């Protein structure tokens, strides 16, 4: 005949198993919510950083007499600093001096999308249309921001894909040479964030920014609706 103590031990073990099962169910219910919250937080942080880029570019234009910054696509040939270096003083409060700890802090925070798993790389690419010559565009140039007819619908920055090691987006090549896109259109799953010339940020699907089928092109200041 089992003792009362043995019965109590059996009941305690059973209760423990029930508690463990309940905890497992609760974890299964909570984990998707935590994942969604984490994703939402990353999206919000990326938008905040892109807004900061938009504001920094506005400050740059105020100081340069409405002239747009350049990327590494043309900056060195023009003896200017690429946008990432030139805009450090608006981001960090002090001008760029060297690729020191402060520079890499800016590169891996302010210039970095939380969804981008790479380090020491630009997450955001500058739209080179603003620095192209008339030969490259087959006509118009937009070195001056006020020449852009629709700043609220013309993209300034997009998100670079994992293969990119540059700081810019050669969107004119997509049309002229059918080149592959260097952007990450679904980095935020299912879309990505874009900075527009007027400084605002939008989450958009790729086909809402560029489509050969419909002719939509929000990268080209001449065709942005």
pTM score, whole prediction:
0.85
Cα separation of 86 and 11, whole Å?
A: 70
Residue 141 has pLDDT above 80, yes or no: yes
Cα separation of 127 and 60, whole Å?
A: 16
Share of the chain above pLDDT 70, in %: 90
The helix/strand/coil state of 126 is strand
Q: What is the pLDDT of residue 209?
A: 97
Residues 170-203 have pLDDT tens digits of 999 999 999 999 999 999 999 999 999 999 999 9
Mean confidence (pLDDT) of the chain: 90
For residues 72-93, one letter each, b for 16 or more C-beta atoms within 10 angstroms of the residue's C-beta and e for the rest, the string is: bbbbeeeebbbbbbbbbebbee
Phi, psi angles (nearest 5°) of residue 203: -90, 125
């Amino acid at each position: 005949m089992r003792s009362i103590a043995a019965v109590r031990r059996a009941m305690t073990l059973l209760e423990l198993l029930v508690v463990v099962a309940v905890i497992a169910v609760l974890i299964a219910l909570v984990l998707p919510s935590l994942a969604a919250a984490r994703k939402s937080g990353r999206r919000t942080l990326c938008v905040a950083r892109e807004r900061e880029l938009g504001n920094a570019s506005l400050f740059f234009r105020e100081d340069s007499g409405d002239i747009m910054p350049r990327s590494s696509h043309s900056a060195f040939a023009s003896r200017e600093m690429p946008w990432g270096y030139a805009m450090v003083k608006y981001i960090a409060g002090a001008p760029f001096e060297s690729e020191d700890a402060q520079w890499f802090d800016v590169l891996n925070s302010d210039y970095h999308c939380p969804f981008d798993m790479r380090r020491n790389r630009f997450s955001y690419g500058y739209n080179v249309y603003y620095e192209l010559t008339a030969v490259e565009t087959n006509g118009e140039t937009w070195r001056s921001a006020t020449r852009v007819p629709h700043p609220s619908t013309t993209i300034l920055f997009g998100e670079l894909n994992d293969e990119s090691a540059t700081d810019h987006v050669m969107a004119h090549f997509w049309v002229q040479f059918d080149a592959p896109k260097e952007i990450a259109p679904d980095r935020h799953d299912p879309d990505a964030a874009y900075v527009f010339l007027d400084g605002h940020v939008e989450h958009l699907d790729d086909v809402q920014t560029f489509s050969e089928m419909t002719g939509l092109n929000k990268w080209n200041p001449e065709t942005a609706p």
